[in-house]
Structure 1
Amino acid sequence: MKQHRDTLAALRVSRWVYGGAFLVPFIILVVTFWALKITPFGNQNFLFSDMGAQYIPILEYLRTTILHGQFHLFSLSLGTGSGLLPLLAYYVISPFNLLIFLFPATNMTTALTWIIILKISTIGLTMAIFLRHAFLKTGWSLLLFSTAFSLCGFVTMYFYDMMWLDALILLPLVALGLHRLVKHHHFGLYTISLALTIFSNYYMGYMTCLFSVLYFSYLLEEHQASVTSLTTVWRLHRPVIRQFLIGSLLAGGMTMIVLIPTGLGMLLTGKSNFFIKNYLPTPQFGPEILAQFGPAGSNYASHLYHTPSLFMGTLMFLLLIVYFVSPRILAVEKKRTMWLLILMGLGLFITLFNTIWHMFQQPAGFPFRNVYFFTFFAIVTAYRAWQTHPAQTMNDPQKVLALVWGAGLLTIGFIAARTLPQLYYQFDPSLNNHLYLQSQPAFKLLWLALGLLLLNTMLLFISEWRPVRIGLMGVIIACELGGSFLVGTHGIDFGSQTQFAKDYRANRALLKQVGAKTNSLHRIDYLHSTIGKAYLGAYNHYNDPLLLNYAGISAYSSTLNEQSRVFQHDLGYFSPNVRRISAQGYTHVTDTLLGVKYRLNAFKTPPINTLSTYAGIGFAVPAQVADLQLDDQNALNNQQHVLAAMGAQPNTLSPAGVISMTQHRATAKDLAPIPDKTMTHSHHAGPMYYQTVTLRVTATGLLHGYSPENGVIYSSLRVNGRKVKPMINADGFRYVFSLGQHRKGSTVKVSYVTRKPDAGYHNQFVSLNQKAYHRFTKHLAKHRLKLSAKSGVSWISGTVTGTAQRNLLYVAIPKTPGWSATVNGKPVAIKSAMHAQSVIPVVKNYPGMIGVPIKPGTNHVTLVYKTPGLKLGAVISLVSLLLFGALWFLAEGQRPLKAHHAAKRH
């Protein structure tokens, strides 16, 4: 009876502990966000970095399309069009995101605040569940360790990349599943939790698979009383290893409905490029990493490149050292633990291993994303040390040794942080080394770290007043973690909630006037929306089409289709990297080619411009367009070749005549308009010059410029003395820049700062002959694809008239896998209308837009999109799920029945 009462008491304590594990980080975050005045506790919101540029637009797009019945697995709001499943798999497959349907669009930012709070709080809950069941101990001290993991350095630095937080929620359950697998031969929890991790974010799921292999091997070795050979371990644990392999394969199989389509989609991104430097066995940091065990070691200002964020609370750091000093822990156990810590540390330290951990691609910003695995195991190790009751089991010299080791490592770390990054930068003055230098913690934080270490040492080694000292430890670690989280937000330009709500309504009202919606089959250029006023930091409008729900031409995501990005960039659109393509860089030629019907500018009156250059989403063109090759870094010539291939009048794009060009060394006045970021990147690029080119305009229309050798700093641009710098800072990149409307015969002076004075002789300036181009687009419109009323985003149907000279239907949608076509009911092979080329970062050719062969006369054309690999993935997932269910029932489901029958026999 007493044992039964003790069991019930332990269960009641566990429930309270689980509640505390969730509530403690919940309260810390609520207080922190209240202090920061984050909505709903104030007027600031998360309109910054990836949160404002990606998550809010993507989730708002998902919310709107689902609620309005417009959801498709292909979207024209992603650049010029892309499959949606890779984007969803990478960013939004999380049950917490269902919360967005409880909030209106204007309060999407508030929904994200609660999602972040709930996710981080749930990390604490699952960590408590793991510690309770893996080590069969309960008690309030569990909250120290669960809270340390829920608000560790990774969370502090990357909480706004909230797609990754689900992996931290599920990691303790994956680890608990491995414990159950090794100890009880139960593989169900491991398989389900791993499958959910992969499903919620395949990127973090991949990392979790690597961790599972390491942790499973560690647990197998842990069951050996002495050092054992691998062959012996294999022989002794063959059934468990077999279950591990089967469970892992089934977890992967059950997620194939996401993995196969996503994998095929990711092969179409620019992230598939190979760089040899990412596979070298070079170090990524030095002993300065030890300073990261101290509080407040990192903040948002250094988020693009910094030391791994190891902070988990000073108590955890001390207990990690105690583990290796304690006489209660066998040397063989210490050796095994040290080996696993070293292996995971090498995944951070060595570039080759770090690249493998990051799915064979080095992160572009937000580095060392695998650091939380190290933190998790370090906290587990600290918990093991806690269970040895160090106050009673360690003698005074051992306690002093632990303190000295801790103080010594922190001191070494801060001294190294003070000196070594400066040497790295002097040896190699690269951007990453500059960012790394700026990311180092202030040396004065050493005294705070040492003070906290001494205070925790005193509390840890006091044997009396156990409830009081645990309470004091809890207060200290809560203040450390909450304070570090608060410091971690330093450098964030939070957005304005009232401004966001106001501008969102105004922009949606303007878009409604042109019938904009996500399933429209014409595009809108709305680069100049007012929504950017809600963002206090830099905002470049890449994902406005998602946020405001219209078919646009810009996008920003890690799943951006590379061929469509390169195609747009070859035509002159601004694209700073493989994840971003902007609407900046348009000409009327690109308007026609991409099917842009409206150009909106909320800062002009009237704000709506209906483009006369619109010829439809598709039109008949000569077959030679299919063979046209666009060249990288040659945008205006590419446009000239496109016009010639489509039958435009010669000199529709008319080169301006250069009358003269002058230059002088740039003065402080000349450099004044250039932003600090550009000047920082130009620090080692030599002197700057101010050039003025005097042009004679040869055609009435828009005048555009292009620098093939990237010799123009656009932020310094002036036309006839008037500033014309672009809306989005494009310094350091090529794009077609607009110089305004001018009449034939007029003289125009174009001035700019350059680092490459000789490149000025190769800059190109052309005018679009307005009258000739209107005649050309009017003729194109006669051969446009006339859409049926039922046409949608992923099912396009209509008629087009072909001729002997125009026997190819050009459709302004990228020719990507998944599209099929029929003409007059018969299947036809889709051709590539034009081909794009990139030379940076690697030389590569890509297909262009959809081209459908047609015949003279009326052609009824149907285009259908089906997500590549979705059907195959669904079949594999279903089979894997059925196999898992059968195996679980046979292997685990029968055990309670067998135990019950055995008990009845006895």
Structure 2
Amino acid sequence: MQARKRRWSLTQRQFTLLGAFLTPFILMTVYFIYRQMAPFGSSSLLTVDLGQQYIDFFAYLRRALLHDPSSIFYSFANGLGGEMLGTWSYYLLSPLNWILLLCPGTLLTTGVFLLTVFKYGLSGLTFAWLLDKTTKQTDLKAITFATAYALMGWSIANQLNVMWLDAAYLLPLIFYGLYLLMQTGKWRTYVIWLTLMLVVNYYMAYMICLFMILAFIWLAVDQFTNWRHFWGQTFSFAWTSAVSGLLAAFVLLPTWWSLSQSKAQYTVTSFKWKFEFFPPKMIAKFFMGAFNFDQMPDGTANLFIGAIALLGSLFFFSDRRIRLRSRLTAGIVTVFLALSLCVQPLDLLWHAGQFPVWYPYRFSFIVSFWLIWLAAQTLTNDFQPGWLAIAIVTLIVVAGSAYVALNLKKFAFLSWSQILLGLLFIIFALALTTLPIHHHWIYPLAFFVIGVTEVSANAFISLNNISYVSQGEYGNYTNELQQLVDRVQKKDTGAYRIGKTFLRTKGDAFQTGYNGGGVFSSVLPKTTPTFFGNIGNPDGDGFVEYSNGTLVTDSLLNMKYYFQQKQLSGALAGTSILPASTNKADLADYHITNQDHWATTYRNPYALPMGYATGSQILTLKNKTADPAQYQANWLAALTGNPSDQHLYTAENFNQVDFQNIGQQTKITGAMLQKKNLLKPAKITLTFKPTSNDAYYLTFGSTVNPDNATFILNGKQLDQYKTYRNTILVSAADHAKGKTQKLTIQLKKGSLWLENFTLYRLNTAKFKRAVKQLQTQPWHLTKHSNRYFSGTITTTQRNQVLNTSIPYSKGWHATVNGKPAKTHKTLNMFTAIKLPQGNSTVTLSYWPPLLNVGLLVSGGTLIVLLGGWWLLRKRQ
């Protein structure tokens, strides 16, 4: 009899766990099939950052692991080049990412689909595991709570931040490990899962660690027997948490170094104790479908958990079966979490001292977990609330709903239908939790149907508010760019960079495996966007895009090849699969090497090698100008040692300027254009006729952008990347001697400040002489990879240096003729090495800073743990 009972109990548990995995897994799979997501249709899960950033990192992951291990620690697809451990630890260390290895090329979108639905399923599975181990919840009720957790509003809103979803399925395991530690003193479960979380994603792990402190306080109060026991638990919690950090040191230490160069430099050091918004506004997020695109950059926290879990969490505080001290402590924790969602310093605390750029209140999954956990503690089969508790909970729900309904105009993401539907589910949930039907067979079925239907409806409504990249848009572009890259790399195996005049994402180089000049990353070193801003290219705190290269920067940055989209005519006009991102008239100076239906490939004859010998003036060059044209001239002059090169660019006057519905201006640069009649169109037309075949460039200040005006050059809209915060250089004409050039600027607003708006002519002959001089002493590479360069170089004078376009990092280690050599930083960006006169063999190799220390710490900690465990087992 006992054996039969045990077998039934095991089967019941398997049913619960399997159901908890399959329910969210199937629900989201069915929804994605309905939306025709790849591989089931013509759409994809790519949207916002997933389509603009993460998909490129996933392609890089496949290439690094399967084809190019040298790029694991350093990659020249990372902007102009950069370390990669920070990228791995933030984006790519999920154990589920191995799925992506099965999805080559454009099938990568299928891999993203599989990643997403598996993480939904695992979230349900691990939460059900926690309930099975710590509560009386089983079968359909446990599956309902697990599904409410897996499909909580935070997960639905952040499924595009797919690397964060690891936190959702690991949090229940970590919490269970802490629960087990507090109950029995067994520490392995807690240490293993917390260590894994720290390795998989340090950012979300930080938030979980903060929550573990709150959870420890609650568990310690709940289990309090005497002070000696309490201090013993505190010691156990402290040392096991520290051990997890030490075991993860091989990732955390080099990541800390990476962050010190990038994200950590944007940490907020001053703040005000204030509410970020009126706190009751959060109530609206408990209604289904309370999410749309506008909530991504600047919304309130995503808190939807379903009516059953919400009511259950409220009833927890009146449940007399639970100790009063436990309920009071839980109340304090809940209030702290609520305040964290609206009080600025607490919000900053959860985000490690930095205001999130998009996706605010990223820690709200912890709030949802906490509320669902409280509900699962309360809504057991023997729960029967008193009338006072029912009245108070009903009053809270009615008051909150009334506030949202009366202020519905303030919540653009809600409609009356959502309000009424939400109230209907609240009524159902209230009936389920209060009526004495808990032991009837229909109760768990109704619990499941109502709970799962509501969270499914929330997912459906919320995700229907978001648009996605089509599979064709992603696949056609990627296939074409990959073919262009493969053709070049097959013929030229050297060390060089590739530029292009079209763009899908700033991570195209990661996607198709070439050395590029753009990247979008949260761990981008601050020096990189600073440099891009100096040379007249778009930059931001987390991105750079080499869309505005000139003949000078193309040469100095080793942009040896360029891809340009073709302008299709006739019936195919405007149908290019390669969306233009810049105007580059100076390609007229380059040589066509190949072309296909969509694009032309150019070779830059002026591209300098990755390294070459120059005078030592480059070591002492300081930036003293905000003009990108002058910055480039100063840079080149420091390399050649010729002061006349500082006058490489010459400001030119326009031949004619015509104003329409704008007041006349005597000076164009810095002019404030004002509409005379706000109701009529206004434009300014500027013409110039080049007197030589030199390259001509325009500088646009940050106000002279596509948001404020439309730019028409010679009858065609001027292509330009939209986001830039510094002055950029725009290629306007080349090889156009005697041909009139006409630029029309159409105002989109009542006024336009022509900030730093200047026409420049590049002295092409002087530029060519300078490049020819620098090409005479190249670094002849005999071996090269992403993290290793070796070659010979000959210097003819004393005090010369090897100047490279390799971004400076403490991870680069140099040798000259077999002896260690010091690396120097030029332009606060690149690497240079002092050379002796004569022939030299120079090597540069990269190894992540602090990685060796991290490996020693992690390895030593593991050895000590295993040794202690072995000794303990031997004694026993």
Q: TM over 0.5: same fold?
A: yes
Question: For residues 761 and 294 of structure 1, what CA distance do their matches in structure 2 show?
Answer: 47
DSSP-derived class of the 2:395 partner:
helix
Q: CA deviation at 1:243?
A: 1.2
Query: Cα–Cα, structure 1 residues 800 and 241, in superposed 2: closer, same or farther, change >3 Å?
Result: same
Counterpart position of 2:314: 321
Counterpart position of 2:666: none
Q: Does 1:411 align with 2:385?
A: no
Counterpart position of 1:558: 522
Q: CA deviation at 1:169?
A: 0.8
Q: Does 1:446 align with 2:427?
A: no
Counterpart position of 1:497: 471
Cα contact 2:81–2:806 (8 A) shared by 1: yes
Matches within 5 A, 1:717-728: 717-718=710-711, 721-728=714-721
Query: Cα–Cα, structure 1 residues 771 and 521, in superposed 2: closer, same or farther, change >3 Å?
Result: same
Matches within 5 A, 1:112-261: 112-135=112-135, 137-224=137-224, 233=227, 235-261=228-254
DSSP-derived class of the 2:341 partner:
helix
Deviations 1:168-196 (A, max 9, x none): 11100111111111110111111111101
Deviations 1:58-110 (A, max 9, x none): 11112123222444311000001111111011001011110111122220100
Question: For residues 343 and 800 of structure 2, what CA distance do their matches in structure 1 show?
Answer: 56
Deviations 1:587-646 (A, max 9, x none): 111111211100012426561100112121112222111211235742111012122223
Question: For residues 359 and 746 of structure 1, what CA distance do their matches in structure 2 show?
Answer: 57
Q: Does 1:53 align with 2:27?
A: no
Question: For residues 686 and 270 of structure 1, what CA distance do their matches in structure 2 show?
Answer: 45
Cα contact 1:132–1:138 (8 A) shared by 2: yes
Q: Does 1:657 align with 2:631?
A: no
Question: For residues 212 and 763 of structure 1, what CA distance do their matches in structure 2 show?
Answer: 55
Counterpart position of 2:628: 635
Question: For residues 187 and 755 of structure 2, what CA distance do their matches in structure 1 show?
Answer: 69
Q: Does 1:601 align with 2:564?
A: yes
Deviations 1:396-430 (A, max 9, x none): 454344333222222224434545xxxxxxxxxxx
Counterpart position of 1:310: 303
DSSP-derived class of the 2:734 partner:
strand
Q: Specify which of 454, 460, 467 is matched with residue 480 of structure 1.
A: 454
Counterpart position of 1:515: 489
Question: For residues 143 and 661 of structure 2, what CA distance do their matches in structure 1 show?
Answer: 64
Query: Cα–Cα, structure 1 residues 47 and 733, in superposed 2: closer, same or farther, change >3 Å?
Result: farther
Cα contact 2:700–2:755 (8 A) shared by 1: no
Cα contact 1:51–1:160 (8 A) shared by 2: yes
Query: Cα–Cα, structure 1 residues 851 and 828, in superposed 2: closer, same or farther, change >3 Å?
Result: same
Q: CA deviation at 1:765?
A: 1.7
Deviations 1:731-788 (A, max 9, x none): 7653222213254565544332567979538422212233332232222211221111
- Identify unmatched segments of 5+ residues in structure 2: 568-594, 664-674
Query: Cα–Cα, structure 1 residues 451 and 828, in superposed 2: closer, same or farther, change >3 Å?
Result: same
Q: CA deviation at 1:355?
A: 0.7
Aligned-residue identity in percent? 24
Cα contact 1:696–1:745 (8 A) shared by 2: yes
Q: Does 1:859 align with 2:840?
A: yes
Matches within 5 A, 1:807-886: 807-834=800-827, 847-886=828-867
Q: CA deviation at 1:277?
A: 5.4
DSSP-derived class of the 2:845 partner:
strand
Question: For residues 456 and 281 of structure 1, what CA distance do their matches in structure 2 show?
Answer: 35
Q: CA deviation at 1:363?
A: 0.6
Cα contact 1:661–1:694 (8 A) shared by 2: yes
Cα contact 1:70–1:519 (8 A) shared by 2: no
DSSP-derived class of the 1:451 partner:
helix
Query: AA paired with 2:546?
Result: A
Please say which of residues 277-286 and 825-834 is displaced more in the overlay: 277-286
Q: Specify which of 574, 580, 584 is matched with residue 538 of structure 2.
A: 574
Counterpart position of 1:344: 337
Q: CA deviation at 1:823?
A: 1.8
Query: AA paired with 1:344?
Result: L
Query: AA paired with 2:450?
Result: I
Question: For residues 645 and 34 of structure 1, what CA distance do their matches in structure 2 show?
Answer: 59
Counterpart position of 1:672: none
Query: Cα–Cα, structure 1 residues 85 and 527, in superposed 2: closer, same or farther, change >3 Å?
Result: farther
Cα contact 1:61–1:547 (8 A) shared by 2: yes
DSSP-derived class of the 1:299 partner:
coil
Counterpart position of 2:582: none
Q: Does 1:772 align with 2:772?
A: no
Matches within 5 A, 1:387-406: 387=380, 389-390=382-383, 393-396=384-387, 398-406=389-397
Question: For residues 761 and 722 of structure 2, what CA distance do their matches in structure 1 show?
Answer: 23
DSSP-derived class of the 2:857 partner:
helix
Question: For residues 750 and 838 of structure 2, what CA distance do their matches in structure 1 show?
Answer: 54
Query: Cα–Cα, structure 1 residues 382 and 265, in superposed 2: closer, same or farther, change >3 Å?
Result: same
Question: For residues 217 and 459 of structure 1, what CA distance do their matches in structure 2 show?
Answer: 32
Counterpart position of 2:435: 462
Query: AA paired with 1:15?
Result: Q
Query: Cα–Cα, structure 1 residues 62 and 413, in superposed 2: closer, same or farther, change >3 Å?
Result: same
TM-score of the aligned structures, taking structure 2 as reference length: 0.89
Question: For residues 25 and 500 of structure 1, what CA distance do their matches in structure 2 show?
Answer: 27
Query: AA paired with 1:589?
Result: V
Cα contact 1:75–1:518 (8 A) shared by 2: no
Query: AA paired with 1:760?
Result: L
Question: For residues 746 and 865 of structure 1, what CA distance do their matches in structure 2 show?
Answer: 50
Counterpart position of 1:587: 550
Question: For residues 816 and 724 of structure 2, what CA distance do their matches in structure 1 show?
Answer: 46
Counterpart position of 1:369: 362
- Identify unmatched segments of 5+ residues in structure 1: 226-231, 420-436, 533-540, 668-681, 835-846, 899-906
Query: AA paired with 1:338?
Result: G
Q: Does 1:781 align with 2:775?
A: yes
Deviations 1:803-828 (A, max 9, x none): 33771211111111211212222222
Cα contact 1:595–1:812 (8 A) shared by 2: yes
Question: For residues 181 and 761 of structure 1, what CA distance do their matches in structure 2 show?
Answer: 63
Counterpart position of 2:590: none
Q: Specify which of 501, 506, 510 is matched with residue 480 of structure 2.
A: 506
Cα contact 2:618–2:826 (8 A) shared by 1: yes
TM-score of the aligned structures, taking structure 1 as reference length: 0.86
Query: Cα–Cα, structure 1 residues 272 and 732, in superposed 2: closer, same or farther, change >3 Å?
Result: closer
Query: AA paired with 2:848?
Result: T
Query: Cα–Cα, structure 1 residues 6 and 686, in superposed 2: closer, same or farther, change >3 Å?
Result: farther
Query: Cα–Cα, structure 1 residues 411 and 42, in superposed 2: closer, same or farther, change >3 Å?
Result: same
Matches within 5 A, 1:610-649: 610-631=603-624, 633-647=626-640
Query: Cα–Cα, structure 1 residues 251 and 621, in superposed 2: closer, same or farther, change >3 Å?
Result: same
Q: CA deviation at 1:374?
A: 0.9
Question: For residues 712 and 283 of structure 1, what CA distance do their matches in structure 2 show?
Answer: 31
Question: For residues 224 and 417 of structure 1, what CA distance do their matches in structure 2 show?
Answer: 45
Query: AA paired with 1:146?
Result: A
Counterpart position of 2:86: 86
DSSP-derived class of the 2:728 partner:
coil
Q: CA deviation at 1:246?
A: 1.0
Counterpart position of 1:795: 788
